[in-house]
A and B are shown apart, each in its own frame.
Chain A
């Protein structure tokens, strides 16, 4: 599903060059639930950004769903992000001026020639039902708890029925109870067929996934299958 070959990412300024990722080779199969761990600044988010086509590698090859995207232009990358990838962020990234339902609907707005307004809203309602927030769809984000916000973000990530979900520390801003709740939802999505890649600092959460990739100073230093979950 996701294939990274010889990935290198260098951030350059006029005075300094920082090697964020070095020679990363990672193949993630369809239906896997992979967690990425490592200390702060080791390149976890950079790696997730490359998988999510939010950033381009300095060297190497990125394949998403069998498509080599290295030479893709903005429009093609946007189409892939919209159709194949769902994002969940640590800080939720909800738009406070829009209702929960409107927030969830956003990815469908960028889907060309697709659903009409009423069917978009229906899809958004269904996504909110999946995360147990159908009773909050007309609320605004600032009227929700952290866990509820993250569930809205998950609904937004799945509303377009993407095959890949990329989660950047989805439980990082939540207490353990809320974190577990979010993790259960992610596990359910994975059980329903979604490929999930999750960056986390939390060993407990990482252990609930199928596979654990460890990074250190931009290099992949570990890749283990967690047999109990696989």
Chain B
């Protein structure tokens, strides 16, 4: 019967060309959407690498005040650490987690190179963000006196720069500097759960430098806006010309999520409309086709087809049409993993292909079920007489 259906559709291929193109286009759109969703979901399932709840980022701006910036900064840090509400505080570069700011640079070790995200942070960074280390340790102020500035890298940076080699104590080059690896963390997805992990380097902050004036603080659970107001007031009283802006990492995270999810949602809505259109088209075409083929239905019943085999016949025809379209679609979709388009994992494309195939067949089946059942109710005696 399968061969019979293929032959029937193949012999009517000209009449079905537009329908096949429609299903093919739907498959490709679904493939694009599925790739995006699979990519985001697989990112989401990767550990973030740190905790952000009860963590605030205080962005300090010295504005026109250029006098004793470093000293004022150190005083502010001491004051912040002294609050009972603050569990831990860390000074870092402006690209705090979930912020819009990004720093990256090429890092090399021997012949290996990786484009790595760069974070400049003091020794309390890991404690403040509760980042677990998988090897080595986080740098301390004592490490700053060595020949090379200390850094911690994430697992991905380790894999790209060192492969299976132990990175601890090894030196990497980034920009004009040379850095000694003190420890390794697993992941650090600074742009949120929907971002894939990137090679990352945490460089020890120079506390005497006047820049890098963002402070991350981990506050005790339940700490509220009253403390926030007090904190800002105290900071501005210590450095009257400075500005202080507090951002909750939970809010910044939400912004990053929106950036990732809004395009997916828009794509999903467009795709949804397209699929509804295609589904209605298929439904209509099948209805018309069944109305036109009542004689054939009557004949098949006369020759021994049961009601259910008539039903399956029409569902089968739609599956065959979908198969022609999907095979054409697979030729194109298959190029994405083969040619490594968009630098995504092959697994993402393969899962997306699988999802698209399942959805296309599901839609085609849904559209075919009702008209096919109608076809099964055609009275053979009446249908044959009509011809």
Contacts and interface: CB of A to CB of B under 8 A. Distances in A.
Contact of B381 (A54, A82, A106): A54
Interface stretch (B2-10, B77-85, B130-138, B244-252): B2-10
B39 to A, nearest CB: 43
A75 B302 contact: no
Contacts of B295: 93
A102 interface: yes
Interface in A144-195: 156, 160
Contacts of A65: none
B336 to A, nearest CB: 36
Interface string B1-33: 101100110011000000000000000000000
A45 B302 contact: no
Interface in A42-66: 45-46, 49, 52, 54-55
Contact of B303 (A74, A91, A97, A110): A110
B372 to A, nearest CB: 15
A98 B7 CA distance: 8
Contacts of A109: 1, 4
Interface residues of A, number: 30
A97 B385 CA distance: 21
Contact of B302 (A46, A74, A81, A105): A81
Interface in A105-139: 105-107, 109-111, 117
A33 interface: no
Given A45-B385, A93-B295, A107 B303 contact: yes
B384 interface: yes
A142 to B, nearest CB: 12
B106 interface: no
A109 B5 CA distance: 11
A111 B384 contact: no
B303 A106 contact: yes
A220 B70 CA distance: 117
Given A45-B385, A54-B381, A78 B305 contact: yes
Given A91-B387, A93-B295, A81 B304 contact: yes
B304 A107 contact: yes
A83 B303 contact: no
A95 interface: yes
A78 B7 contact: no
A74 B304 contact: no
Cβ-closest 4 pairs across A and B: A82-B304, A110-B304, A55-B381, A49-B381
Interface of B: 1, 3-4, 7-8, 11-12, 295-296, 298-307, 309, 379-381, 384-385, 387
Given A54-B301, A87-B303, 18 more contacts: A46-B381, A54-B384, A55-B380, A78-B301, A78-B305, A78-B309, A87-B302, A93-B384, A95-B8, A95-B299, A98-B7, A102-B4, A107-B303, A109-B1, A110-B300, A117-B3, A156-B303, A160-B304
